[in-house]
A and B are shown apart, each in its own frame.
Chain A
Amino acid sequence: MDLISWITQMVDGSFITIKLFFIVILFSLPLGLCITFFYTSKNIIIRKITGAYILIMRGTPLLLQLFFVFFGLPYIPFIGKYLTFDRFPAGAIAFIFNYAAYYAEIFRGGLLSIDKGQYEAAKVLGLSKWQTTYKIILPQMFRVSLPAISNEVIILVKDTALVTAIGLTDLLQVTKTIVNRTSNIVPFIVAAVFYLIMSYILTLIFKKLEEIFAF
């Protein structure tokens, strides 16, 4: 196996890792926000269901959830055949639902940190509930949540490597294969550097965001 071919394979693998990362971010953040709203709903049944969801997602291994979606769902009687996913979508689904639960908890913490005086000021200034939510509450909630979100996003970069376990040819899977074939440790180091750079760039981006939205 020559140098060029293993480099191209690792580039392909990192693209899959990056694609997975962005798709998970794109869907899990809004989903997390929705879950926060359900979790703070006035309806106790909705609250309980949401609470159970968050408990399951955070209380069981992500790897198990990954196996559950990819290997497990197809075995469900009758509907299993409609729940059979390719490796990439299966990985994305498991990650999205798992990370959404974490983001929901972070956003909820952000909501709780907002003083009730903010709601009262908005009310006496004649803002509607919806205007209060999107002009006053959400911006503050996001700002307060940023450091914790940043932390979670960087964990995601590294967690994406778990999809290796369902045979998706992400960066780690490809690297492992190359190491086996070439009996050479360098690809592991290259992969480590890749993850490190990605984490570092995200750290910088979030630092910048925290500065921009500082108050």
Chain B
Amino acid sequence: MDMINVKNLKKSFGSLKVLKDINFDVKKGDIIAAIGPSGSGKSTMLRSLINLEKADYGDIIIEGKYLCKKGIYAKEKDAKQICSKMGMVFQHFNLFPHMNIRKNLITAPLLQKKDSKAKINELCSEMLNKVGLYDKINEMPSNLSGGQKQRVAIARALMLNPDIMLFDEPTSALDPELTQEVLNVIKDISKDNMTVIIVTHEIGFAKEIANKIMFMDNGYIIDFGNPHEILDNNKNERIKSFIEKVM
């Protein structure tokens, strides 16, 4: 069974067609890097998978269950259940600024009664260790650097033990010297039998960790496959010029 299937996905904002006909499958353990020009629909595609955007048409199937079938969505309760297998990390971290780091991590699992409070706190320490920020456990988010905030955001998503992690330009809001620490954490995660889709402009990083590249342009996936084939000597002029520009 595939982790994700997307068929004929279409989405408009008003009269602006953002996703025109998106089709792809994600296998377990796939690390997919989605690249392409700004405005090509990468974020909208990613956000549709986790129900932050409502598609107008098409199928979205997560681990065999229909989130959306021909544009008709599962009931809210079912949709929530289906999406609970996925975690998402945003460009702007979206940490909860009024909670310290520990609370940021434990609030969701506590509210969902995922485990006992003691177990959840233990997991919290473990996750913060994993991203190298255990010493920040009692800090407020405003006292952290951008790179640290993003690592906390990743740890927070991992608290819910997702099968699939979605990253939307996780390093785009960071100063260049802070991107590496975040990329390292993502690299670690991608080795943990996790399925990952990451929208990124870090072509070198994409090549290093991804087993597939998805190239989006103007609402379509115009290439999808082996990183080597797509990134090195691509015949397509659009792709070639884009890669030359961002490299």
A residues neighboring B (CB under 8 Å): 115, 117-118, 120-121, 123-127, 131, 135-136, 139-140, 143, 213, 215
Contact = CB atoms under 8 A, between A and B. Distances in A.
B97 A124 contact: no
Of A117, A121, A127, the most chain B CB neighbours within 10 A belong to A121
Contact of A115 (B94, B107, B153): B94
Given A125-B160, A127-B108, A127-B111, A120 B97 contact: no
A125 B111 CA distance: 10
Nearest to B97: A215
Contacts, number: 54
Contacts of B107: 125, 127, 135
Which 3 pairs show the lowest CB-CB distances between chains A and B?
A121-B94, A125-B108, A117-B94
Q: Is the interface of A mostly helix, strand, loop or mixed?
A: helix
B142 interface: yes
Interface in B188-242: none
Contact of B96 (A121, A126, A131): A121
B97 A126 contact: no
Of A124, A136, A140, the most chain B CB neighbours within 10 A belong to A124
Contacts of A124: 50, 52, 83, 86-88, 157
11 contacts: A118-B94, A121-B96, A124-B50, A124-B88, A125-B157, A126-B112, A127-B107, A135-B107, A140-B97, A143-B98, A215-B141
Nearest to B92: A117
| Interface band, chain B | 20 to 34
Contacts of A139: 98
B156 interface: yes
Contacts of B160: 125-126
B98 A140 contact: yes
B108 A126 contact: yes
Contacts of B88: 124
B183 interface: no
B94 A120 contact: yes
A127 B95 CA distance: 14
A140 B142 CA distance: 14
Contacts of B92: 115, 117
A197 to B, nearest CB: 32
Interface in B87-146: 87-88, 90, 92, 94-98, 107-108, 111-112, 140-142
B84 interface: yes
